[in-house]
Chains A and B, each alone.
Chain A
């Protein structure tokens, strides 16, 4: 199969997180062919979840495994 465009993992990441940085031609291509790019769904979910809440129980687990992490008592 021949194609005249390259789309890397970083391009798909940029499409979701830093859309304005993506080359216009690539952006248009991804927009028109979203169903081909499985990674879009992953990065979109991550973008939503990355600022989500951290439970106290999770904080305790992190602190138990990573000594540099100190539970914030505020």
Chain B
């Protein structure tokens, strides 16, 4: 962990009823956008919850924004500079979008009314909800609710933003718009983006961490992960039964993601998704061999 790291995790372990969610994780994050990838149950949400200070690890040290959040005062200092969008977020029935974000702004200690309302309008505009801000949250679509949740996480331009699947249920146009907003945020803040959308990670992140079964499977630049799939993705007229994944594309060709392209096959550029599938496929094979 470098001295300038916004987040420093050392030996973080967390278990739920005997199941290990995180196993001796060492990670540090600095300003920029980092994508967290991994299958369901990999430990991504647990990791974000620990960094968000809403869950304590069983063992290990957490340093956030230069502080150890072990006392109420230190915790408050960290939380003042933190924005968190949980994976599952409900809303009180009576709140409008504006009302909810306004309430969250008060919890984030925006006590003066005029600047608070300006800030609430700003973040709602950022996520393109300015026009529906006075609608009850329950009347909004799933994608709009996700954006309300994102808006509250962006209040006050926090130094550390933790976003758990922020683009789930958001339409493609809005996703692109949100990418613009998040990329701007990543210029000054440390943004951790947990998602299943590999295209979001490819489009936004300079670094990717792949978690699987509570362990780090990959930690590095996005292009480095993509490079691991070079020469292992090819197009063919038929699916390859030995491939890790294979599907028929819109052109009628089958895209095969496997160990190595067979001689004479039509190789194609790998994507982050290909590399991710191969990484997890390698793990599955390793597990099989070990068994």
Bound pair (A, B): no
Mark B residues whose CB is within 8 Å of A.
Answer: none
Mark A residues whose CB is within 8 Å of B.
Answer: none
